Chain A
Amino acid sequence: MLVQQIINGLSLGSVYALMAVGFALVFSILKFSNFSHGSVIMLSAYLGLWFSNRFDVGLFPTLLVCMIGGGTIAVIIEKIGFKPIRDKNGPLIYLFVSSIAISMFLQYLMTALLGGRFFMYRPLLKSSSWRFAGITIPIVNLAMLAASIVALVFLLYVLYRTTIGIAIRAAATDLSTPNLLGININMLISITFFISGALAGIAGLFLGMSLNVYPQLGGLVLKAFVATVVGGLGSLGGAVIAAFLLGLLETMITAYIGGAVTPMVSFTVMILFLLFKPEGVAGLLGLSSGSATQKL
């Protein structure tokens, strides 16, 4: 029972990690909390649903479509909702408000178009659960865990071993200097949004498969936000660790205490971290991070 819950918690945590990393990537460059990330997750889930039903394909083609679709949606959102504000050097709070407005717009648009009902993925995997030594684990959770880990490792490779990754990390330190050094900063921001959107696409597909698809699915981005905060602002490593911890914590509480108190506990944890350890898990472990008490 405990082992089973730990594995379920880890796979939930892995999806949180995917969302949190995408969230933290944009934060590290543009320094605002991008809530439209949630709507990318939600729209990718709808896209994957439509694609897998329409063309009757399995998990991998759907995953690919979700990644490309999610990335594209994120870039479009950036071009429409954020770039005009960035061009005018608007205050960061405008970007933040705009991201919230976009996420609510898309959520209500989907509700108005398709209604608030739940859509179910048809089974994309051959068997539904895996039994081993008395424990039962849904296959979708294992696929989630595997895909997330592969994606995170690939992301690490891109960030630390490729030119684009170096440029992204440079831009995270300071947005104007790479521009002076001849890096096309708008292109770089688009690439960052694409990567973050592609990660959101993976998360969207798996969340859709395990929780069904509905307009409020994007609200789960708040978990990513909590993980990013607890992880330490803009620190990818911290966000991943915090996301796994959050997944474990939530699964344990839901299993042993009850689902009703889960959101309260995760918010309380976040607020406690903000108050007493604003530099987050990253600060505890000595990873680099920003500060929560900085000016926005």
Chain B
Amino acid sequence: MNSYLASILIFTGINLISVLGMFLLMGLTGLLSFGQVGFMAIGAYVTAISYMRFGLPFGAGLLLGVGVSLLVGLVIGTVTLKLRNDYFALATYGFAEVIKNVLIYFSGYTGGSMGVFGIPAIVTLPMVIVIFLAALVLCRNFKVSKLGRNSLAIRNDELAAKVMGINTFKQKLLVFLFSAVFGSVAGSLLAFSTYYIEPNMFNWSKSVELIVIVFFGGINSLTGVVFAGMALTLLPEILHFGAEWRMVIYTAIIIVTMIYRPTGLFGRWELSLSQILGWIKGRRKSAVGRGGQGA
């Protein structure tokens, strides 16, 4: 496989991991957050700095990033998750901006607006695929478990969910922390596949990109979100859009989706493993059948 294709696939995989975090938060629980990119920044910087400055191995740095993200997420979540949804969205925007400003301001460690240079490209495609699949399985199990149903109840009607005995604050905090971990891991992987990181890579428009993907794929469909993530990350790479037009098209897509198909492209449809196995079996059977007729 040539390295250009591999790097695109790595980038897509990393994007999908952060998209999955956003799916848990927004698709399942209905919490709109612009702060996802803040956790990506934390993951990226913590891992990069601990590797470059303190010689911590990549894996340990990644876990350290997750730890820091969890701590920060706990504080931010506790403070903001009791607010109305649109205020929560804004507070998370503020969080992402503060993180970015902190990165620029404390330039002694972070390199300021220049960022961190010379990060080795440790991340390989198989590594990204394994982590992505693990994240996917985690998400899928989350969705079909009691936790997922609690989240759906909160998204559809928070008051009703409370009445049914769900501790909505605790549940929302849990999902928020989950998504923080996803974001942080994606950030760490990103840092070790792009050679350098700088604060402007973690603009809030990145969070918007994730939100667009989740809405486009369908807030009820994990399959849809993964497909949308692949399509919207790969297409611009293949078609070589300029960065500006890419965002114009992205946002136009979400406006049209919101108006004409608010449930997203895939609606509620999910692809399951048994379905795939069923198809394969079915095809084999019909192939055998046809073969039999021919003979």
Size category of the binding interface on chain A = 35 or more
Q: Contact between A112 and B258 (Cβ–Cβ < 8 Å)?
A: no
Which of A81, A108, A295 has the most chain B CB atoms closer than 10 A to its own CB? Answer: A108
How many angstroms between the C-alpha atoms of A168 and B93 in the bound complex?
31
Task: Write out the residue numbers on chain A whose beta carbons fall within 8 Å of the beta carbon of B212.
Answer: 101
- Nearest B-chain residue to A295, judged by Cβ: B158
Q: Contact between A274 and B247 (Cβ–Cβ < 8 Å)?
A: no
CB distance from A257 to the nearest CB of B (A): 13
How many angstroms between the C-alpha atoms of A93 and B262 in the bound complex?
11
B82 CB-CB contact with A under 8 Å: yes
CB distance from B30 to the nearest CB of A (A): 7
- Nearest A-chain residue to B86, judged by Cβ: A33
How many angstroms between the C-alpha atoms of A111 and B105 in the bound complex?
27
Task: Write out the residue numbers on chain B whose beta carbons fall within 8 Å of the beta carbon of A112.
Answer: 242, 244-245, 248
Q: Take A101-B251, A104-B205 as given contacts and tell me if A296 and B94 are in contact as well, using a CB distance cutoff of 8 Å.
A: no
A263 CB-CB contact with B under 8 Å: yes
Determine which of B82, B89, B91, B248 lies in contact with A105 in the assembled complex, contact meaning CB atoms within 8 Å. B248
Chain B binding surface SS class: helix
B240 CB-CB contact with A under 8 Å: no
Task: Write out the residue numbers on chain B whose beta carbons fall within 8 Å of the beta carbon of A127.
Answer: none
B134 CB-CB contact with A under 8 Å: no
CB distance from A98 to the nearest CB of B (A): 5
Chain A binding surface SS class: helix
Determine which of B83, B242, B260 lies in contact with A274 in the assembled complex, contact meaning CB atoms within 8 Å. B83
Interface residues of A in 77-91 (CB under 8 A from B): 80-81, 84-85, 88, 90
Q: Contact between B84 and A296 (Cβ–Cβ < 8 Å)?
A: yes
Determine which of B101, B159, B247 lies in contact with A108 in the assembled complex, contact meaning CB atoms within 8 Å. B247
Q: Contact between A270 and B262 (Cβ–Cβ < 8 Å)?
A: no
A264 CB-CB contact with B under 8 Å: yes
How many angstroms between the C-alpha atoms of A111 and B243 in the bound complex?
10
B56 CB-CB contact with A under 8 Å: no
How many angstroms between the C-alpha atoms of A280 and B89 in the bound complex?
18
Determine which of B83, B93, B258 lies in contact with A97 in the assembled complex, contact meaning CB atoms within 8 Å. B258
B252 CB-CB contact with A under 8 Å: yes
- Count B-side interface residues using an 8 Å CB cutoff: 39
A100 CB-CB contact with B under 8 Å: yes
Interface residues of A in 199-236 (CB under 8 A from B): 222, 225, 229
Q: Take A81-B259, A112-B245 as given contacts and tell me if A274 and B98 are in contact as well, using a CB distance cutoff of 8 Å.
A: no
How many angstroms between the C-alpha atoms of A102 and B259 in the bound complex?
12
A163 CB-CB contact with B under 8 Å: no
Q: Take A84-B259, A85-B259, A100-B208 as given contacts and tell me if A93 and B85 are in contact as well, using a CB distance cutoff of 8 Å.
A: yes
Task: Write out the residue numbers on chain A whose beta carbons fall within 8 Å of the beta carbon of B215.
Answer: 97
- Nearest A-chain residue to B93, judged by Cβ: A222
Q: Contact between B98 and A97 (Cβ–Cβ < 8 Å)?
A: no
- Nearest A-chain residue to B256, judged by Cβ: A101
Determine which of A260, A264, A275, A296 lies in contact with B86 in the assembled complex, contact meaning CB atoms within 8 Å. A296
How many angstroms between the C-alpha atoms of A90 and B264 in the bound complex?
13
- Nearest B-chain residue to A84, judged by Cβ: B259
Q: Contact between A108 and B208 (Cβ–Cβ < 8 Å)?
A: no
Q: Contact between B247 and A293 (Cβ–Cβ < 8 Å)?
A: no
Task: Write out the residue numbers on chain A whose beta carbons fall within 8 Å of the beta carbon of B158.
Answer: 295
How many angstroms between the C-alpha atoms of A278 and B105 in the bound complex?
31
Q: Contact between B83 and A109 (Cβ–Cβ < 8 Å)?
A: no
Task: Write out the residue numbers on chain A whose beta carbons fall within 8 Å of the beta carbon of B30.
Answer: 93
Task: Write out the residue numbers on chain B whose beta carbons fall within 8 Å of the beta carbon of A85.
Answer: 258-259, 262
Task: Write out the residue numbers on chain B whose beta carbons fall within 8 Å of the beta carbon of A292.
Answer: 83-84, 87
Task: Write out the residue numbers on chain A whose beta carbons fall within 8 Å of the beta carbon of B247.
Answer: 104, 108
Task: Write out the residue numbers on chain A whose beta carbons fall within 8 Å of the beta carbon of B94.
Answer: 267, 270-271
Can you list 17 contacts pairing A with B, beta carbon distance less than 8 Å?
A80-B259, A85-B259, A90-B258, A93-B85, A94-B262, A97-B254, A98-B258, A101-B258, A108-B247, A225-B90, A260-B101, A267-B94, A270-B90, A270-B94, A274-B91, A295-B84, A296-B86
7 closest A-B pairs (Cβ-Cβ)? A105-B251, A296-B85, A267-B94, A112-B244, A108-B247, A101-B254, A84-B259
B contact residues vs A (CB 8 Å cutoff): 30, 32, 79-80, 82-87, 89-91, 93-94, 97-98, 101, 105, 158-159, 205, 208, 211-212, 215, 242, 244-245, 247-248, 251-252, 254-255, 258-260, 262
12 additional A-B pairs beyond A81-B259, A84-B259, A102-B255, beta carbons within 8 Å, are A85-B258, A93-B32, A96-B32, A96-B85, A97-B258, A98-B255, A108-B248, A109-B248, A111-B244, A263-B97, A270-B94, A295-B85
A contact residues vs B (CB 8 Å cutoff): 32-33, 80-81, 84-85, 88, 90, 92-94, 96-98, 100-102, 104-105, 108-109, 111-112, 222, 225, 229, 260, 263-264, 267, 270-271, 274-275, 292-296
